[in-house]
Each structure stands twice: as structure tokens, then as C-alpha cells.
Structure 1
Amino acid sequence: MFDQEFLQRFRESNLKKAWPFEEAERILKNLGGKLPSKSYVLFETGYGPSGLPHIGTFGEVARTSMVRHVFEQISGFATRLICFSDDMDGLRKVPSNIPNREMVAGYIDKPLTEIPDPYGEAKSYGHYMNQKLKSFLDAFDFEYEFYSATDCYKSGMFDDMMLKVLANHEKIKQIILPTLGDERKKTYSPFLPIDPISGKVLQVAIIKTNLDKGTVTYLDDNNNEIEVAVTRGGCKLQWKVDFGMRWAALDVDYEMYGKDIMSNATLYSKVCQVLGKKPPAQFFYELFLDETGQKISKSKGNSITIDEWLKYAPLASLSLFMYQSPNRAKRMYFDIIPKLVDEYISLNNQYHQLEDLESKVNHPLYHIHRGNVPHAQTYGLTFALLINLACVCNPENKNILWGFIFKYTPHASKNSAIENEFLDQLVGFAIRYYEDFVRANKNYLVPSQNHILILEKIISMLENLPNDTDAQEVQSRIYAIGMESGYENLKDFFGDLYRILLGQSSGPRLGSFIKLYGFDETTKLIKMKINTKNEKNS
């Protein structure tokens, strides 16, 4: 917990405060600076398990956890975080990215926890999706409590609030009806009965309500009156009402949600108030976009999955992506990964040079790691550099890249496993990224006669440099060769070198790359490219 002297000094400083700090302050203000009567402050995130959990789902928990950590530091209050799964929702359409789609299609409108698992691994479709979410949150070491809508409805946890919804049936309808089309208004009710025979979640008109019995009545397809209890899972609520009811039932103090449902926030708050509770402090975040600029969707499967991201990058890079500009829509695809990883490395080096607490609290990595920032030692190597090293040596395993790294930084002893753990992970990620995204897209430029003259100058330069020459000096010498080469734009000079040597249009600082790959190896690579040209001409 921060001491009051520091907090006063930090609040009065001219520093632009990190957004999690601003959010934590807003929650404290919403509470009137007092601990709620329940003796803790409740944070909540929501999850719709109709499709595989995507990174946007993870982002909501990550961002909420960042705010929660700062809130604990400035308030000293106990907190809880609930990750709530709406797994009693009826399946409205079959996601395109799951197996056994025809089988699942036979269960349309059934609660997700009543549909067989298409993966054949769990008790139900909903249970499988929930487990996928929990396994990742556990791997990231989040502290949370998982709540299932099915369990909450069927156990009776929501019974008191369901009866309050019933008592305020007409009042709640008047909150929601203005947002609906004319046809939907005719049949709308906050309650979605679970049909006793088919087990489907029905969207039907409620023709009677009985508060004394705690029931609602609707007409089935044969025009028979069917009466069901609103308690113990006999009904669930329409999602707009469910949102506000949940806030009231659980006494939620803070929730964030995507911009796509922001327009309904006032509805959730009004429902919560009708049910006798104060709405929580709220925060909306912008949506994530796929490679074409479209909103990512669980049902479309048009995003990077959690498992896919972790195949190519460390967890911290994903958390950094979530921290950055939550109120701005961001494109999320595989090609952003190298930049994110290198940005994390740069920020990590920066953080560990900070001395004052004010600067640390305002730093992205303080929030990403919730105050406990590990030192990501890379000895000056970047992820992009490792990927490009893989480009030229086509490694079969990590040992090949480590061989170059040991020459580059002899003090990076592999016996120090803890010290080198982050870098060792990066090596593995770089190889996978190269294999899956770079190798197939290589497009080498056959050097022209003018290129060969330039390449020969680089060879001559390298052959006359002492082995202990640093990367900056090598870069300066290559730059000088470029200045003398006749190119009007040095960007084109370096672009040609990248295409000739690496088969791609961009690349790392050549001085750093050559130092890592080695002077002798680089000379051999350049001579091979020249010989390839000569062989084609012979």
C-alpha cells in the first residue's frame, strides 16, 4: 500500500497519470472513500462462452487486474475479482471455428451448458469453453474467482433478485422497450423461460406474471399456457437486464466492457437502480480489429487465439498490448508481435533504470506486472534481430542460435538458467515465428553489377575490422558505403541489402545483425550471394 505522503505528492504532481491509476482514483471517489459494508470492493468481468475465448476476453481481465492492483495500493481495501461466464445463454448460431458443427447445430437455443462438447473433452460445450478461459487465466497467475451463470441461476443465488425483477416487471420493460424495434416490442419480456420439455431458452411473450407464486406464463407452439418459476433456473434474463441484475445481485463496484455495448450502459445502470443497488463505476474500451480492420469475433474466429499468441511471444508482450491506449481501436494480427516484443524489451530496460517511485508507478510495466517487474535480460539483442538471425542460418533448434549468441555475448553463460530464461524463450519464439511467417515469404533480390561492387566493399571492410569492433562502428562503416554508393535515398540502399541478404524488404540495423551473426559468417553469406549472381550469368 502507498503511504499517504507519497499519494499526496503524486496526486499533486504535474505528471500525466497512468490510466489504471486514474481509474482506481475514480472507483475510490465513487465509493465516497469508504469501504463498502460487505467489507471488500468487488471487480467483475464478463465472458460469453459461445466461442473459443479470444485475446479480447483476456484483455478485459488483464486490464481490470491492473486497475484492481493500483486500487489496493491507494486504498488499502480488500478486493475480489469475479470472472463471470454467461454459460446459461442459449446458442443462437454455430461458431465457424469449432469441430462437429453439424452436431452442435442440433442444439440451437439450448443453454451452452446443456450442449454436448464438440471437442469431446468436457461435460458440455459451455464447460469446455469455460475451462479454456480458466486455464489461460491460471497460467497468467491472475487472482480471480470464476462464476458460472448456470450455477448462479440454478443454485438460487440469484433468486432474490429474480423475484425483484418480477416485482418490477413493467418498470423494467419500460426501460428496455425504447431501444427495441416495433416487432420485438410486442413480445419483449425481461424473462427468458427455459422450456420444460425442449430445454431451450425461449424468447416469447409473457402473458401473465404471478409474484406470489414467483412465476411467469407463456404460450407454447400449441397455444397451451405454460407456467414456469423465475427462480432456481426456471428462467434466465435477457442480456441487457441480466447485466444490471448481476451488478445488483453481486453488489459489483467496478466493471469494464467493450465499446460495442457502451450504448446500453445507461440501461444496465437503470435496471440496477430499480433493483435497489447503486451501479458500479464503469469503463469502456475500444474494440480489437483483425488484419482487414473488422471487429474480432468469437463466432467468426477472425482473431489470434490465446494459444497462438503464446506460440510466438511471451505473456508480457500480450499484457503490454492490452495496457496501451485502451480507448483506441487497435489492429491485432500476427505481424504486430515482433514490434510488441521489442517494445516490451525496451520498456523493461527503461523501467530498471528508474529510481523514484513516482516514475515507476506511472510506467506501463508497473501495471503490466502489478508492481513486481522482472528483469528481461537480452544483452542488447532484440526479437527482430533473432528472427533475422534465423533467416540466414535456418536453425533446426535453439542451440544453433545460442551458438551465435555466445559469440556475441560470451558472458551470457548458459549455466545461469534463471538469468537467461527470458532470452531462451525469445530464441524459441523467434524460430517459430520465422518458420511460420517469414520463411515462405522470402523473396531474394539477385544482385546487379552495382550491387556486387557495394557488397565487395562491405566484404573488404569486414575483413579489415578487428573482431572486437562494436556494432555501432560496423553500422557507421556500412552507412558510409551507402553514402558513396550513388543512392539518392539511403532507405533504398538498405532495402536492397535486406532483399539480397535476407529475402525481405526490411530488417534490423545491419551493424547489430553482422555483429551477432559474426564477421566471418557474414562475409561467407555475401560471397554466396555474389556467386549466385555469377552462376546465373555463366
Structure 2
Amino acid sequence: MMQPLEIVTSVIRDPELVDAALASKAWPFEEARKLLERAKKLGKSEILFETGYGPSGLPHIGTFGEVARTTMVRHAFSLMSDLPTRLICFSDDLDGLRKIPDNVPNKELIRPYLNQPLTKVPDPFGKFESFGQHNNAMLRAFLDQFGFEYDFFSATECYRSGLFDQALLRVLECYDEVMAIMLPSLREERQQSYSPFLPISPRTGHVLQVPIEERKVDAGTIVYKDPETGELVEQPVTGGQCKLQWKADWAMRWYALGVDYEMSGKDLIDSVKLSSRICSVLGGEPPDGFNYELFLDEMGQKISKSKGNGLTIDEWLRYASPDSLQLYMFQSPRKAKRLYFDVIPKAVDEYFTFLGKYPEQDLKEKLGNPVWHIHSGEPPASNLPISFALLLNLVSASNSSDRDVLWGFVRRYAPDASPEAHAEFDRLVDYAIQYFHDFVRPNKSFRAPSDLERRALEALEQRLATCEPTASAEAIQEMLYEVGKDAGFETLRDWFKALYEVLLGQEQGPRFGSFVALYGVAETRALIAAALSGKLG
């Protein structure tokens, strides 16, 4: 039996760290505390985490988010308990191919294999024995890219090896109870043909969705009509000759493997409830977990793989590091968030802000800092000379993709900065150039200044002419305030908004005093002159 919680945690070498973890309000620790109670209740000797993947398509940003968040909970739990943990990434590759994906080559090659298990469909990319194996390899490479620790499970291997045989026989025993749970959730038409078992036809190899005519519990078989010949077929439910409909399959996996924790999207709340009831009927304990909110696109619509709206993993990593994406996944998982290009700069700067604060924080604050969870308790050091947002505006104003030119601006602002001493920032330079050219430049929209704004800009240019080239950002910011007040703007916000729209061609921007100090006093005067003469548009 599991030892009491206080004894479990006493084996951790740093009691202060354990106490802080047990009291932390960070959501991974809240989830981990639920697992501690589960371990006590069930007498667990191991805690098993699971994430699921449907390999009919390529891995996507939701796959990353689920594995990243689960890994954060797993690490939080490891801080509180000495119980071993595992993470299973499960691929439902025995599922039948229902339609040909839009984003694959050689569609005619796989057309004859519709309704066959994914591991029986030829690989349209010509790299693996099957389409399922191809997508599994893509999933594993995808997860390995981010350094996740996991055990990979293939549904095909689990079913055919006999690993699920006892659980499948248990589903057969509880067939009526499973049907009683599922049928009320289905449309009337679907009720007529539904069965939790999907026999794999020995004649065609198809994964069949057919009603069950008879079940023979003692023999471990089901009887169904071949949909093409009408003949009755008796078939074992074991040995990979049947698979389960996905909600029953989900429950069976939880039961067979002893899964303790699995999270899922808000759109699967009802499915989690149904699968949990089935798991309980089988005699298992449904896993803990929580339902995270879904991501939205720029229009506030739910992101969909079939629509292709929102950001992909590759698109995010084109403009920013995996760490910034993990931060975005960590923050407010139960809150719907827009996942579009314009969230990237803010996520990058927030990540480095959290990273910069970490060394000076006390233990409680560190455990609540996202970078602790992103880096499994060992965040790297960081020393950025300027923010990513400011760097983006430098690229925009200088209209330069030359890294040496950009580093020249940065060194003038921060003389000790260099690519060698600031390798992390050096990578940001490349990200900023790419982000500007792909996203900022196409959306730039300069406007002419109003009469009030023109007079203010002329006054600013004259004041800058009296500035030392090495004037501090604070001194320049104070000058900006004075010019705005003297010009008669109703609010200084209107003044700074005008600076962004007239000089930078965007609705918002950095602290302008810092921008001038970075870009240069003389260069900013030239920028104002170009705007006043109508050359920027």
C-alpha cells in the first residue's frame, strides 16, 4: 500500500522546496497535488501520464501544447513525491482511413485503401511501410525536437500483441452497460448501427462500423453481418481482430494501462465524462486531468486543422524560440486565447522578462514563475541588451536585413553587447528580421500628420538637434513628454500614437525614448524629415 503523504514527501531531500511546492498556486502544482491524493487513495506505485494522437494527419500545435503542459504537471509532481512517473504518447494508428487528407502527395496510391487501418495504408510520401508509420515517425521527431521524455505506444502494436486482450474481453463482458452509456449520446440513426467494437474484416481488411448481431462472452467473440456479402461472421475481439470506437477505446486504454492523468480540450468535456463512466464500469479508476480552453484565430474563431486557420508550430518557430511557445502554453490554460502572428513578440518579451526576474526571486516566487516549469526547475541565465519589441522596431525603422548593421545600432546603445556574449539575443536578431519581412512590412501603413502633429514633429526635430548623440533614453523620453505637452495634445497617448503611425507605420510601438536612443538621434531626425516630406508612405 501507498505510504501516507507526509512520508512520501519526506524522502525528498529539500523539505523547504517540497513545502513551497505543496503551497504553490501555479496550476501545474495544483494538478500535481490532485495526483498525490490519487496516489494515496489507490496505493499507486507509479504515476502514468498519457497524451493521445490521431495519426490521420501531421502533428500540430495542439499536440505540442498537450505534451508540454502534461510534462509540466509531471515535473511538478516529481518535486513532491518519489514515486516514479511515465508519460505515454499514444497513437491511434489502428483507426481506419476515412478520407484522403488534402496535404499528401500520391492521393491515387492510397485511394484503394480507404477504411483500412492507417498502418495498412501505403505511405504516400514513400518513406515508410505505411501512412500510419510515417505519421508516427513525424510525431516522434516532433516530440524529440523539443526534448520531451516519453514512451511511444502504437495502437496497432498494443492490440495485436495482446496487451489489450484482457481489457477487450472485459468490454465484451460489460457490453450492455457500455451500450447504455453510449446510446443516449448518439443521434437516432447512429444508434441503430452503433457498437463499441469495430471488427477488422478478414476478407477486405476494412475497419467496419457495423451493428453486432450476437456476442459470445465465453468464447470472446462477436458476430456481425459482412456489409457487402450479408454473411454472418464470428470473430474474436482479441489479437488485433477488433478495435474499439474512440470513446470506448479511450476508456479501455485508461483501464488497461492504469492511466492516472490525461488532459484534453474543452470540446471533449462530454467525451471525457462518457469515457470516464465506461472506465468505471470496466472496474478502473478514470484518470485525473483538466480541460484546457481552445485556441482562437485572429477573428476569434476556433482553430481547426481542416480550415488551416491560426498558427502552426513551424510558423511560430520561424519567428521565435520553442521557449516562448511553451510560455504561451503555460499561461492561463483554462482561458481561450488568440493564437496568431501578433501574439509572438509579446510572448518572446514576456518570456525574457520572467527569465530576467528569476535569479532575484524567493523560492515561492520561483515556483510560480513560468520559466521554472518551462525548464523543469533549471532556467538558463539571460542578459538581453534590448527587448524583442524594440529590436523589431529597429529592423522596421532601419529597413535593414543586414545583421551587422543591426548589431551596430545595438552596440551603440549597449557598448558591451556582441553576438559572442549574447548568443541568445543574436538568435533573436534572425527571428526579428524574419518576422518583419513576413508580417510587419506587409501590414505597414504610414499616414500623413495632421496640422497639430506636424507642428509637434517639427518642434521635436528641433529639440533633437540640440541633443547629444549619447543622450539617455530617459532624457529623450522626458523631452518627448515636454514636446507633446507644449504642442497641446489632449492626452500624451495621442502624441505617442501619432509618432507610431506617422514615423513607424503602425498603431503601437516601443517606449519611444528607448527607440530614439537605440536608433540614433541623427537617424530619428532624418526619419522625421522623411515623414514630413511624405517620403515614408
Give the TM-score normalised by the residue count of structure 1: 0.92
CA RMSD, aligned part only?
2.2
The correspondence for 2:395, drawn from 387, 390, 393, is 390
Matched residue, 2:173: 167
Q: How far apart in 1 are the matches of 2:142 and 2:21?
A: 35
Q: Per the alignment, in what secondary structure is the counterpart of residue 77 of structure 1?
A: coil
TM-fit CA distance, 1:421:
2.1
Q: Per the alignment, in what secondary structure is the counterpart of residue 264 of structure 2?
A: strand
TM-fit CA distance, 1:99:
4.4
> In 2, are the aligned partners of 1:60 and 1:256 still within 8 Å (CA)?
yes
Q: How far apart in 2 are the matches of 1:8 and 1:415?
A: 40
The correspondence for 1:273, drawn from 259, 271, 280, is 280
Cα distance, 1:105–1:518 mapped onto 2, change above 3 Å: farther
Q: How far apart in 2 are the matches of 1:337 and 1:516?
A: 22
TM-fit CA distance, 1:449:
5.3
Cα distance, 1:181–1:415 mapped onto 2, change above 3 Å: closer
Residue identity in the other structure for 2:242: C
Matched residue, 2:84: 78
Residue identity in the other structure for 2:491: N
Structure 1 residue 88 corresponds to structure 2 residue 99: no
Matched residue, 1:517: 519
> In 2, are the aligned partners of 1:194 and 1:235 still within 8 Å (CA)?
yes
TM-fit CA distance, 1:181:
2.1
Residue identity in the other structure for 1:396: S
Question: What is the CA deviation profile of residues 97-151 of structure 1, one whole-angstrom value per residue up to 9, with x for unaligned ones?
Answer: 4445565555432222222334444333222322232222111111111111112
The correspondence for 1:530, drawn from 525, 528, 532, is 532
User: Percentage identity across aligned positions?
Assistant: 51
Structure 1 residue 199 corresponds to structure 2 residue 205: yes
The correspondence for 1:20, drawn from 28, 32, 47, is 28
Structure 1 residue 135 corresponds to structure 2 residue 141: yes
The 5 A counterparts of 1:389-468 are: 389-416=394-421, 420-447=422-449, 450-468=452-470
Matched residue, 2:38: 30
Matched residue, 1:51: 57
Q: Per the alignment, in what secondary structure is the counterpart of residue 40 of structure 2?
A: coil
TM-fit CA distance, 1:450:
4.5
Q: How far apart in 2 are the matches of 1:35 and 1:467?
A: 70
Matched residue, 1:252: 259
Cα distance, 1:425–1:33 mapped onto 2, change above 3 Å: farther
TM-fit CA distance, 1:435:
0.5
TM-fit CA distance, 1:167:
2.3
Q: Per the alignment, in what secondary structure is the counterpart of residue 227 of structure 1?
A: strand
> In 1, are the aligned partners of 2:324 and 2:347 still within 8 Å (CA)?
yes
Q: How far apart in 1 are the matches of 2:513 and 2:120?
A: 60
Q: How far apart in 2 are the matches of 1:497 and 1:505?
A: 9
TM-fit CA distance, 1:79:
0.6
Structure 1 residue 216 corresponds to structure 2 residue 227: no
Structure 1 residue 307 corresponds to structure 2 residue 314: yes
Q: How far apart in 2 are the matches of 1:348 and 1:8?
A: 23
> In 2, are the aligned partners of 1:193 and 1:228 still within 8 Å (CA)?
yes
Matched residue, 1:341: 348
Q: Per the alignment, in what secondary structure is the counterpart of residue 209 of structure 1?
A: strand
Q: How far apart in 1 are the matches of 2:393 and 2:17?
A: 45
Question: What is the CA deviation profile of residues 352-410 of structure 1, one whole-angstrom value per residue up to 9, with x for unaligned ones?
Answer: 221x212211222211221011123212x111111111112222342322121111111
> In 1, are the aligned partners of 2:95 and 2:118 still within 8 Å (CA)?
yes
The 5 A counterparts of 1:349-368 are: 349-354=356-361, 356-368=362-374
Structure 1 residue 7 corresponds to structure 2 residue 14: no
Cα distance, 1:105–1:327 mapped onto 2, change above 3 Å: farther
Q: How far apart in 2 are the matches of 1:515 and 1:116?
A: 60
Residue identity in the other structure for 1:7: V
Cα distance, 1:447–1:172 mapped onto 2, change above 3 Å: closer
Q: Per the alignment, in what secondary structure is the counterpart of residue 262 of structure 2?
A: strand
Residue identity in the other structure for 1:386: L
Unpaired runs of at least 5, structure 2 = 1-11
Cα distance, 1:486–1:119 mapped onto 2, change above 3 Å: farther
Q: How far apart in 2 are the matches of 1:469 and 1:105?
A: 68
Q: How far apart in 1 are the matches of 2:416 and 2:20?
A: 42
Residue identity in the other structure for 1:61: V
TM-fit CA distance, 1:309:
0.8
TM-fit CA distance, 1:273:
2.5
Matched residue, 2:151: 145
Unpaired runs of at least 5, structure 1 = none
Q: Per the alignment, in what secondary structure is the counterpart of residue 482 of structure 2?
A: helix
Q: Per the alignment, in what secondary structure is the counterpart of residue 50 of structure 1?
A: coil
TM-fit CA distance, 1:94:
3.9
> In 1, are the aligned partners of 2:419 and 2:425 still within 8 Å (CA)?
no
TM-fit CA distance, 1:213:
3.5
Residue identity in the other structure for 2:159: Y
Residue identity in the other structure for 2:464: L
The correspondence for 1:109, drawn from 106, 111, 115, is 115
Q: How far apart in 2 are the matches of 1:209 and 1:363?
A: 55
Q: How far apart in 1 are the matches of 2:231 and 2:259?
A: 40
Question: What is the CA deviation profile of residues 194-246 of structure 1, one whole-angstrom value per residue up to 9, with x for unaligned ones?
Answer: 12233221110111223344322211222111232222211110111101100
TM-fit CA distance, 1:455:
2.5
Greater shift, 219-228 or 75-84, is seen at: 219-228
> In 2, are the aligned partners of 1:53 and 1:298 still within 8 Å (CA)?
no
Matched residue, 1:501: 503
> In 1, are the aligned partners of 2:21 and 2:367 still within 8 Å (CA)?
no
Q: How far apart in 1 are the matches of 2:90 and 2:427?
A: 32
Greater shift, 141-150 or 108-117, is seen at: 108-117
Question: What is the CA deviation profile of residues 464-504 of structure 1, one whole-angstrom value per residue up to 9, with x for unaligned ones?
Answer: 22233221221111121111112223222222222222122
> In 2, are the aligned partners of 1:376 and 1:423 still within 8 Å (CA)?
no
Residue identity in the other structure for 2:221: T
Q: Per the alignment, in what secondary structure is the counterpart of residue 263 of structure 2?
A: strand
Q: Per the alignment, in what secondary structure is the counterpart of residue 32 of structure 1?
A: helix
The correspondence for 1:332, drawn from 336, 339, 342, is 339
TM-fit CA distance, 1:10:
6.0
> In 1, are the aligned partners of 2:355 and 2:382 still within 8 Å (CA)?
yes
Give the TM-score normalised by the residue count of structure 2: 0.92
Q: How far apart in 2 are the matches of 1:306 and 1:99?
A: 21
Q: How far apart in 2 are the matches of 1:103 and 1:134?
A: 25
Q: How far apart in 2 are the matches of 1:371 and 1:323?
A: 14
Structure 1 residue 235 corresponds to structure 2 residue 248: no
Count of residue pairs the alignment pairs up: 525
Q: How far apart in 2 are the matches of 1:211 and 1:35?
A: 31
Greater shift, 71-80 or 196-205, is seen at: 196-205
> In 2, are the aligned partners of 1:389 and 1:513 still within 8 Å (CA)?
yes
> In 1, are the aligned partners of 2:59 and 2:142 still within 8 Å (CA)?
no
